[in-house]
């Protein structure tokens, strides 16, 4: 079991090992999407790339990027993940909407 800390939102939630990051975020009213992403997201199937997050701590508690992530995020830093494809296996800290901050 691990906690997920959402940095910008100053919110920490508890997640069982194997939890999907996107699902846990949405269950806890964490907004993952930019304005455009809200209209164009694929619903968690890894096809659109609108749920990009940055893992700022605990990246070792995640499995390697999926093939879908590798394709969509190939020009992004290794710390960038798709929330819909990310399985949490321990404590992490997450920056939502990192593409808007840089």
Q: State the CATH number of the domain containing residue 47.
A: 3.10.20.30
Which residues form the domain of 30? 2-101
pLDDT band at residue 101 under the 50/70/90 scheme: low
pTM of the model: 0.91
Question: For all residues of the chain together, what is the average pLDDT?
Answer: 93
Task: Note the pLDDT of residue 34.
Answer: 81
The total domain count for the chain is 1
The mean pLDDT value for 6-13 works out to 97
Secondary structure letter of residue 62 according to DSSP: S
Q: What is the pLDDT of residues 74-94, one digit of tens each?
A: 999 999 999 999 999 999 999
Task: Note the pLDDT of residue 2.
Answer: 80
Helices (H), the chain: 21-27, 35-40, 67-72, 98-101
Phi, psi of 38 (to 5 degrees): -65, -30
Task: Note the pLDDT of residue 100.
Answer: 63
């Amino acid at each position: 079991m691990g906690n997920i800390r959402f940095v910008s939102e100053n919110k920490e939630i508890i997640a069982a090992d194997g939890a999907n990051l996107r699902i846990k975020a949405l269950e806890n009213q964490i907004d993952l999407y930019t304005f455009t992403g809200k209209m164009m997201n694929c619903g968690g199937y890894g096809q659109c790339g609108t749920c990009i997050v940055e893992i700022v701590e605990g990246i070792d508690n995640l499995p390697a990027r999926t093939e879908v992530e590798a394709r969509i995020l190939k020009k992004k830093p290794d710390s960038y993940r798709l929330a819909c494809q990310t399985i949490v296996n321990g404590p992490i800290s997450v920056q939502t909407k990192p593409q808007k901050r840089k």
